[in-house]
Chains A and B, each alone.
Chain A
Amino acid sequence: MLLELHNISKIFGTGCPECLVLTGDDAERAICPRCHSVIAVNNVSLSLGGDEILGVVGESGSGKSTLLQIIYQDITATAGEIYFNGITERSGARTNILSLSPSRTSWIRNHEMSMIYQNPHLGLNFNFSAGGNIAEKILGSGEKRYATIRQQALHYFGKIEMPTSRIDDYPDTFSGGQQQRIQIAKALSSSPRLLLLDEPTTGLDVSVQARILDLTRALQYEMGFAMIVVSHDLGVINHLTDLTLVMKNGSLVEYGLTDQILEDPQHPYTQLLVSSKL
C-alpha cells in the first residue's frame, strides 16, 4: 500500500463530542446540530496501491476537496492518521505523516506528492515564468545544476505537449488549458509517487478537458505514479480512474471499482448520482 488514511476527520468550528455521530450520511447533514460546527470530512479511511488511480466523487460540499487538501497538508486534519509507504521513524516503524516536523512535511510535498489545483493561481506562481515554475519544483527536490534544471524543465514542457519556445513566458500569457498543463509539468517534475488532482479540468472547454485527461492518463501509464482525482463529473471519473470513492456530507458512502460504481451502484446516493448523469 502506498497510502493509507485512518479515520480522517476535519471539523471547522469548535467541535463537540457528538459532531461525528450527529452528522454524515445517515444523518443527512454536515453541520452539527449541537455545536454548529461544519464536519467537512467525517471519519474517512481508505488505502491506495502504488499504481492505482482513485476517483473521489461527490457533489459540492461533500468534502472531497477538503480530503485532498488534508492529504497534501494544505490544511490540518482534526483527527486521524495518514501513512505513506517509506515514511518511517528511525526505528523503521511507519509514522503518521500528519505528525511530522514542518521540514519533513515540506520534503514529502516536494518529493513524494504533488497537487494540481482547479485554480491555476493556487498551483502556479504567476511571478515566475512557466519554466521557472517547473524549476521551482525541481530545485525543491534538491537539484542545483543549472544545465540539468533547464534541461528537465524543457523535458517536462515537451511532455505536456507545449512548444518549448514558450518556456520562458509567464503564466498569464497562456490559456486556461495550457495553465493546467503547466501545472501538470510542474507537479510531475519532482517524480512524485502520488499525484493529487482537484477538479483539474472543471471550467475548461470540453475538447481541452479531453486532451488534458488523455495526457494525464498517458503520463500516469508511462511514469507509474498513483493518482487521486477529485471530480464531480462522472465522465472524468470514468475516463481516468480504476477505483472510485463516493462522498456525501463528509462521509464515505461507497467505495469500489469504478466500473462497479457506475454500473452496479449499491448505495442510494450513488444510484442517484449515477442516474443523474446527463
Chain B
Amino acid sequence: MSDRVQQYKLTVSNLSKSFKLHNRGGTRVHGFADIHLRLQCGELLALSGPSGAGKSSILKTIFRTYLADRGSVLFRRGDGSTVDLVSCKESQVLDLRKREIAFVTQFLKILPRISALDTVAHPLIEIGETEENAREQARNMLDRLGIRRELFELSPLTFSGGEQQRVNIARGIIAPKELILLDEPTASLDQKSSNVVLELLGDLKRRGIAMVAIFHDQKKIDLIADHAVTVTREEKQ
C-alpha cells in the first residue's frame, strides 16, 4: 500500500441541522450540530446516543431526506468522482439512491398489495436478476432471518414488528448498494434474529460495502462496528 492517504468512501464534515417550524411562530428545533464522520469501504460506523439526540436525523441528512443547515457530506462514487450530497442537485441524488446509496428504515414501509417474498425479491429484479433467481435468493434470505415459510406469500401487513423489520432488512441488503444507512436494524429483534442480522452485516463488510448504522446496544457495537460515534444532544464526543 502506498503511503498516500486512502480516500474515504464517505466524509461528513461540520454537518448541522435544525428545524424551523413556521406554523409555530418560527420556533427553531435543534437537530444536531457539527457532526464529523469518516468511513472507508468495508467499514461499519455505529451511531449511538440517547433518544432524540439526532441519530436518525443524521442518517436522513446523509440520505438527503433532510436538508442540512451547513456542512458537507462527501461521497466517493463508484467511478471515482466525489459528490457533496448536501449541495448537489436533486437529479444527482436520485441517481445515487438508485444505484449507490440505500437507506434501511427503522420501520418497514408496507406496500399492502405486495407479498413479503416479492418485497424482498424486488431489488434483485431491479438490477436485472431474473424473477426466478430473485425469488429463490429472497427465499434463502427470509429463511436465514427466520421468517416462517407460510408467511412468504402474504403481505407483511399482518406481521409482527420484528417480522416486518426482518423483511425490511432483507430487502435492504439483498442487492446491496455501496453505502447503506441503517436506522436501528436490530431494534425490534430478539437475540437470535439480531445475531443473524449482525452476521449478514459482517458479510456485507467483507464484500466492501460501507455502512452507517444506529445501534443502542454497546455489545452489538463492539461486535460489528469499526468506528463508533456517540451523538449527544448538543455536540458529538
Contacts and interface: CB of A to CB of B under 8 A. Distances in A.
The answer to whether A and B assemble together is yes
Interface of A: 49, 52, 210, 214, 242-243, 255-257, 259-260, 263-264, 266-268, 271-272, 275
Interface string B81-95: 000000000110110
B19 A264 contact: yes
A49 to B, nearest CB: 5
B93 to A, nearest CB: 6
Given A257-B65, A263-B60, A264-B65, A214 B21 contact: no
A49 B21 CA distance: 32
Contacts of A275: 23
Interface of B: 19-23, 60, 64-67, 90-91, 93-94, 112-113
Given A49-B91, A214-B113, A257-B90, A264 B22 contact: no
Contacts, number: 42
Contacts of B113: 210, 214
A229 to B, nearest CB: 16
Nearest to B111: A214
Nearest to B65: A259
Nearest to B22: A268
Interface of B (DSSP majority class) = mixed
A272 to B, nearest CB: 6
Given A214-B113, A259-B65, A260-B66, A268 B90 contact: no
A265 to B, nearest CB: 9
14 contacts: A210-B112, A243-B94, A257-B65, A260-B66, A263-B60, A263-B66, A264-B66, A264-B67, A266-B20, A266-B67, A268-B22, A271-B21, A272-B22, A275-B23
B93 A257 contact: yes
B60 A52 contact: no
A255 B113 CA distance: 30
Contacts of A255: 90
A259 B113 CA distance: 21
Contacts of B60: 263-264
Contacts of A271: 21-23
A214 B114 CA distance: 10
